[in-house]
């Protein structure tokens, strides 16, 4: 049993959102980190970026880029911050985070609570410039709750964050902002992504810099919707897709008393559902664009399953609540061994092998 397993019962006596805020403060002011090791067979060059390993921190933990560099010291290959909106907003009413301990899951209905673009950009610039160590920093962007012209919020955020970000994730799949997921619909998505990529083209010329644009989608899409989105992504030359956000489905044999709470469900119960969408997307896109697998990863075996289902990279969040950040190094070590065991020289050779 590791140290986190010993103290976890004490942490779980604290209300979830309070515990999260305390974790952010701890990471800010108590920089005590484990020894980390990189494995040559986990290195990849993707999206014009050099990833030391494929294990990333998903958006949602460091919403305001307060502790991204300290998070990276736990051995992450990349850290995604946000979701940020142009204006600061408080999000939905509390309580809005629930631990489903029996299911090793989380339900949240936060609603893009964050300090806004100005604060985010300032912190992102500062973090990106602190050290020349090739820290890969993603910026996950969304719209304000009351914005009617959604694309205007995304374009504004691209203007402000294109320069400091390693990549930008377009989040149109959170279930906690009313009507946000409607942007995934066929009649809206093509025009929306066309405007996003036109903005990227302008910013690329302005800064003489290539910043990949990724799209984060929901796990609750029908097969027809997945096919339509994949075609639209390819048509608009989106650089990559993150699969997936949290689910609104509750047909997952949940045991916790909080199972009926509204919001997005993440954690172990999401693994199978997100993997199905991931595998479908890899097939629908013909492996032409990088996919990032998210949802339910709690071990190297889970991460490797996503890679074999088409993910070039993976992201984790909920599992850290149950396992602690030492999980990153355990996954890297075991994943490196799994890659070797299958006779691959590099993890990239395993991408999509279950889809062929």
Give the integer Cα–Cα distance in Å for 49 and 43: 11
Q: Looking at residue 354, what DSSP letter applies?
A: G
- Which distant-in-sequence residues (6+ apart) come within 8 Å of 82 by Cβ? 59, 60, 63, 114, 120, 138, 139, 140, 141, 142, 169, 171
Give the integer Cα–Cα distance in Å for 98 and 324: 17
pLDDT of residue 133: 79
SS3 for 220? coil
Catalytic site includes residue 174 = yes
Give the integer Cα–Cα distance in Å for 8 and 227: 42
Give 125-145 pLDDT, tens digit per residue: 999 998 777 899 999 999 999
Count CB atoms within 10 A of the CB of residue 39.
16
Give the integer Cα–Cα distance in Å for 292 and 315: 7
Give the integer Cα–Cα distance in Å for 206 and 191: 23
Two structure tokens written together for 91: 């999000």
Give the integer Cα–Cα distance in Å for 81 and 61: 7
SS3 for 260? coil
SS3 for 249? coil
> pLDDT (tens digit, 0 to 9) for every residue of the chain, 356 residues total?
678 889 999 999 999 999 999 999 999 987 677 889 999 999 999 999 999 999 999 999 999 999 999 999 999 999 999 999 999 999 999 999 999 999 999 999 999 999 999 999 999 999 999 877 789 999 999 999 999 999 999 999 999 999 999 999 999 999 999 999 999 998 899 999 999 999 999 999 999 999 999 999 999 999 999 999 999 999 999 999 999 999 999 989 999 999 999 999 999 999 999 999 999 999 999 999 999 999 999 999 999 999 999 999 999 999 999 999 999 999 999 999 999 999 999 999 999 999 98
SS3 for 316? strand
pLDDT of residue 314: 98
Fold of 3-90+109-248+267-355: TIM Barrel (3.20.20)
CA distances for 282 relative to 207, 214, 275, 310, angstroms: 32, 15, 10, 5
pLDDT of residue 1: 60
Two structure tokens written together for 65: 């880029």
Two structure tokens written together for 202: 């302008």
Edge-to-edge strand order for the sheet containing 264-267?
97-100, 105-108, 264-267
Give 6-23 pLDDT, tens digit per residue: 999 999 999 999 999 999
Count CB atoms within 10 A of the CB of residue 295.
32
pLDDT of residue 185: 92
Give 250-308 pLDDT, tens digit per residue: 989 999 999 999 999 999 999 999 999 999 999 999 999 999 999 999 999 999 999 99
Is pTM beyond 0.95 here?
A: yes
pLDDT of residue 119: 98
Q: Are strands 167-171 and 213-217 parallel, antiparallel or unpaired?
A: parallel
Give the integer Cα–Cα distance in Å for 322 and 119: 30
- List the one residue out of 213, 222, 278, 223 whose CA is nearest residue 245: 278
Cβ–Cβ under 8 Å, residues 54 and 76: no
- Which distant-in-sequence residues (6+ apart) come within 8 Å of 144 by Cβ? 85, 86, 87, 89, 112, 153
Please identify which of the residues 72, 173, 174, 244 carries the catalytic annotation: 174
């Amino acid at each position: 049993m590791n140290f986190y397993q010993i103290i976890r019962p004490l942490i779980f006596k604290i209300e979830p959102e309070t515990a999260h805020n305390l974790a952010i403060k701890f990471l800010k002011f108590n920089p005590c980190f484990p020894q980390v090791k990189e494995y040559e067979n986990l290195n990849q060059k993707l999206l014009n970026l050099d990833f030391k390993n494929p294990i990333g921190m998903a958006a949602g933990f460091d919403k305001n880029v307060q502790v991204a560099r300290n998070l990276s010291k736990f051995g992450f290959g990349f850290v995604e911050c946000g979701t940020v909106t142009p204006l600061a907003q408080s999000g939905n009413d509390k309580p809005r985070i629930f631990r489903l301990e029996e299911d090793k899951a989380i339900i949240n209905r936060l609603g893009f609570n964050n300090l806004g673009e100005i604060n985010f950009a300032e912190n992102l610039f500062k973090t990106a410039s602190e050290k020349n160590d090739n820290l890969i920093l993603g910026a996950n962007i969304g719209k304000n709750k009351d914005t009617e012209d959604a694309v205007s919020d995304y374009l504004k955020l691209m203007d402000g964050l294109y320069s400091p970000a390693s990549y930008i994730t377009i989040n149109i799949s959170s279930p906690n902002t009313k009507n946000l997921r409607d942007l995934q619909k066929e009649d809206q998505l093509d025009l929306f992504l066309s405007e996003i990529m036109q903005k990227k083209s302008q910013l690329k010329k302005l800064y003489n810099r290539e910043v990949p644009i990724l799209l984060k989608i929901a796990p609750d899409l029908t097969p027809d919707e997945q096919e339509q989105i994949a075609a639209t992504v390819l048509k608009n030359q989106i650089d990559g897709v993150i699969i997936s956000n949290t689910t609104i489905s509750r047909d997952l044999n949940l045991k916790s008393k909080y199972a009926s709470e509204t919001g997005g469900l993440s954690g172990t119960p999401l693994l199978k559902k997100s993997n199905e969408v991931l595998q479908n997307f890899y097939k629908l896109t013909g492996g032409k664009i990088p996919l990032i697998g998210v949802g339910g990863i709690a071990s190297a075996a889970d991460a490797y399953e996503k890679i074999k289902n088409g993910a070039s990279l993976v992201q984790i969040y909920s599992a850290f609540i149950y396992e602690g950040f030492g999980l990153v190094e355990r996954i890297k070590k075991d994943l490196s061994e799994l890659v070797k065991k299958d006779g691959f020289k590099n993890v990239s050779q395993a991408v999509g092998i279950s889809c062929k």
